[in-house]
Chains A and B, each alone.
Chain A
Amino acid sequence: MSTMTMTKALNAGLRRALGADPKVLVFGEDIGKLGGVFRVTEGLQAEFGPDRVVDSPLAESGIVGASVGLALRGYRPVVEIQFDGFVYPAFDQIVSQVSRMRFRSHGRFSVPMVIRIPYGGGIGAIEHHSESPEAYFAHTPGLKVVTCSNPLDAYWMIQQAIADDDPVVFFEPKRRYHEKGEVDTEAADAPMSLYQARVIKPGTDATLLAYGPMVRTCVEAAIAAGKEGRNLEVVDLRSLSPLDDATILASVRRTGRAIVVHEAVGTLGMGAEIAARIQAECFYELQAPVLRVTGYDLPYPPSRTEDGYLPDLDRVLDAVDRSLAY
């Protein structure tokens, strides 16, 4: 057991995957000598060579499109998109090619590719470096979409995503990159399925449903609410597609109240889908409407305003108040 940051945990997970399977490749901009702009791939090229940890020309569609070809010939490319806002040049390849090669080929081909995307705000970045585009990908059949919230999950989830025979879009909450946690890199197996949600903190009064960067925010909100005598449950969704309906619905049936929290804009975001599923399945158990705490429906604003734009502890607690007041 050792304490490490999320970047180190991802790095350790990638190293283990590269060591375990010679077909695993890492491909992207600045990921070789530099080790990635966030140093997630640091040291991997030195260890595994430039044929397996491959610096790419600066073209996202090219990175993803070439990786489709590699995947179709038996490789497992792990692609890095440098920042969330730069994934759109690759959108066509992801949505029209990566996601449906299995379907187009009647199951003969799979594209076992992982597309890593550092995402989310809260780091004072300039435009296009703080986006949360997960809903676009979760909307696309054939893709799986997951996101880690802590180093332990980061270490295992990246390995599980690489081992999956379907393409996985892997969102990394960049503002949590440097937060530390305990990781047992000696353990043989992952503690749970990649597509399972986890109840981080059990509670009875309301359920906070969050993922990625907002999990910690919600845990902090639950601790604060606990001091006021409110016992909140926090669920880390981990997988956005497929959603772990069983865990989500079981929690909401227990508490009767649900609040979905994410940085992405609200309209047609993950919260909309989750709220729709909850109301369809838990209509009579609900004590209050499902509420959402999200980024406002704006392009990501100047970073000096992001503290107000992003959901934080107080906005989450405000929603809890409204839910409990029903």
Chain B
Amino acid sequence: MTEAADSTDFVQLLDQAGRRVEHPTFAYAGTDADIAASLRDMVLARRIDTEATALQRKGELGLWPPLLGQEAAQIGSARATREPDLIIPSYREHGVAWCWGIDPVDLLGTFRGTAMVDWPSRPDGFHLYAFVIGTQTLHAVGMAMALQRDGLVGNDDPSANGAAVVYFGDGATSQGDVNEAFIFAASYAAPVVFFCQNNQYAISEPIALQSRIPLYRRASGFGFPGVRVDGNDVLAVQAVTEWAIEHARSGKGPVLIEAYTYRMGAHTTSDDPTKYRRAEEEEQWRAKDPIERVKTYLLGTGAIDQAWLDALAVESEQLAERLRAGCAALPEPLLSEQWQHAYAEMPDLLVRQRAEYLAYEASFLQEAK
């Protein structure tokens, strides 16, 4: 922690006390109103997350991977993107999904077991959640290669350009696929922003087990820029991500962003962090909360007041209520409908198997009569 805080390469624009900080390279371009919009997204993302965790505890979800503590990393980066950028998430990017207009009830279906990972509200530019660690980084490279071939990179008109922004964690950086993705993206100068949320733990394993050097420095070995940003500072995350995406969109190739943050909750609801980390460490990070510092700052400038926060609290509770009701109302899937999506056209074998299954099920109904 201290290494990051002391490093000159650590980009921070709003410190944990809520004070704006100057940086020689990066500056936040938005207004206080923009910051208030980011705050709203962070608060709502956290409310989605805590509600989903609660739903899992009540037995409504099989599992939930919480984002608690990583709101600034996700909201700040997501707010730096727009179409035709492509978002390639792992499985914890609920805040990014929120910013891309995805109905959080759709997310719940994946973790309730009523659906796979395509969601009715998912826009084309937001790819499917990925559960096998690091695999999606290669998909992002391929999508970026498609952007190049589709003429969506390096145009004079910056608004015509896009980049692929792929999310992964510190643990994923040990995967072969992630390293291969770095190599392929560098070789083809593919427009990829590798957005690593270093939340300090791969389930129980601390970052020191994955890397002996700060992760962002790995980029130089692959031949592209790497930046470490305070992942709990939504202003800095957005500023750095905007720079990185513009770098990629303009045809200069990939960038690695290491968003230095902390997973305040468990890896998933099946995990027990008390077995591998100390309460003091969590307390130190609680003081760096990504939401509190923004509240402090905006209350100080007068951009928001208590009434604004109270209204946001009401909105949060309404959202939570909608999640509870939406979760309970998710339609139960039918096994008989699962056969149709294995192939473009059902092969004879699957047609027969499905018919056998339906006949077998029907035989119980016959007996019941």
Q: Which A positions have Cβ atoms within 8 angstroms of B?
A: 51, 56-57, 59, 61-62, 64-75, 77, 89, 92-93, 96-97, 101-110, 141-142, 144, 164-166, 195, 242-243, 245-246
B residues near A242, Cβ cutoff 8 Å: 347-349
Q: Is the CB of B139 within 8 A of A102?
A: no
Q: Is the CB of B146 within 8 A of A75?
A: yes
> Which chain B residue has the least Cβ–Cβ distance from A52?
B149
Among A77, A108, A110, A144, point to the contact of B118 (Cβ < 8 A). A108
A residues near B187, Cβ cutoff 8 Å: 57
Q: Is the CB of A245 within 8 A of B348?
A: yes
> Which chain B residue has the least Cβ–Cβ distance from A59?
B180
Distance to closest chain B CB from A145 (angstroms)? 12
B residues near A61, Cβ cutoff 8 Å: 138, 176-177, 180
A75 to B150, CA, bound (A): 10
B residues near A165, Cβ cutoff 8 Å: 344
Number of A-B residue pairs having CB atoms within 8 Å of each other in the complex: 129
> Which chain A residue has the least Cβ–Cβ distance from B117?
A104
Distance to closest chain B CB from A87 (angstroms)? 15
B145 at the interface (CB under 8 A from A): yes
**A57-B184, A68-B139 known; A142 and B149 CB under 8 Å?**
no
A residues near B138, Cβ cutoff 8 Å: 61-62, 64-66, 68-69, 93
> Which chain B residue has the least Cβ–Cβ distance from A101?
B128
Q: 8 Å CB contacts to A: which residues of B121-143?
A: 127-128, 132, 135, 137-143
A residues near B147, Cβ cutoff 8 Å: 73
Distance to closest chain B CB from A204 (angstroms)? 26
A residues near B143, Cβ cutoff 8 Å: 69-70, 72-73
B163 at the interface (CB under 8 A from A): no
Distance to closest chain A CB from B251 (angstroms)? 14
B residues near A70, Cβ cutoff 8 Å: 142-143, 145-146
Contact with A along B102-115 (1 / 0, CB 8 A): 00000000000001
Distance to closest chain B CB from A242 (angstroms)? 4
5 sampled A-B residue pairs with Cβ under 8 A: A69-B141, A89-B176, A97-B135, A103-B116, A245-B349
**A68-B142, A69-B143, A74-B146 known; A141 and B180 CB under 8 Å?**
no
> Which chain A residue has the least Cβ–Cβ distance from B166?
A69
Among B116, B132, B139, B342, point to the contact of A72 (Cβ < 8 A). B139
Q: Is the CB of A142 within 8 A of B118?
A: no
Number of interface residues of B (CB under 8 A): 40
Q: Which B positions have Cβ atoms within 8 angstroms of A?
A: 88, 115-118, 127-128, 132, 135, 137-150, 164, 176-177, 180-181, 183-184, 187, 338, 340-344, 347-349
> Which chain B residue has the least Cβ–Cβ distance from A22?
B149
Q: Is the CB of A59 within 8 A of B183?
A: yes
Among B118, B139, B150, B349, point to the contact of A69 (Cβ < 8 A). B139
11 extra interface residue pairs, beta carbon distance < 8 Å, beyond A66-B184, A69-B146, A142-B342: A51-B148, A57-B184, A59-B184, A61-B177, A66-B139, A70-B143, A73-B146, A73-B147, A104-B116, A165-B344, A245-B349
Distance to closest chain A CB from B181 (angstroms)? 7
A residues near B184, Cβ cutoff 8 Å: 56-57, 59, 62, 66
A residues near B341, Cβ cutoff 8 Å: 102-103, 105-107
Distance to closest chain A CB from B1 (angstroms)? 34
Q: Is the CB of A102 within 8 A of B150?
A: no
Q: Is the CB of B347 within 8 A of A65?
A: no
A101 to B338, CA, bound (A): 14
Q: Is the CB of A72 within 8 A of B127?
A: yes
**A62-B183, A166-B344 known; A73 and B150 CB under 8 Å?**
yes
B residues near A96, Cβ cutoff 8 Å: 132, 135
A144 to B180, CA, bound (A): 26
Q: Is the CB of A73 within 8 A of B180?
A: no
A residues near B145, Cβ cutoff 8 Å: 66, 69-70
Distance to closest chain A CB from B310 (angstroms)? 40
Q: Is the CB of B349 within 8 A of A66?
A: no
A280 to B344, CA, bound (A): 28
> Which chain A residue has the least Cβ–Cβ distance from B192?
A69
**A57-B180, A142-B343 known; A97 and B139 CB under 8 Å?**
yes
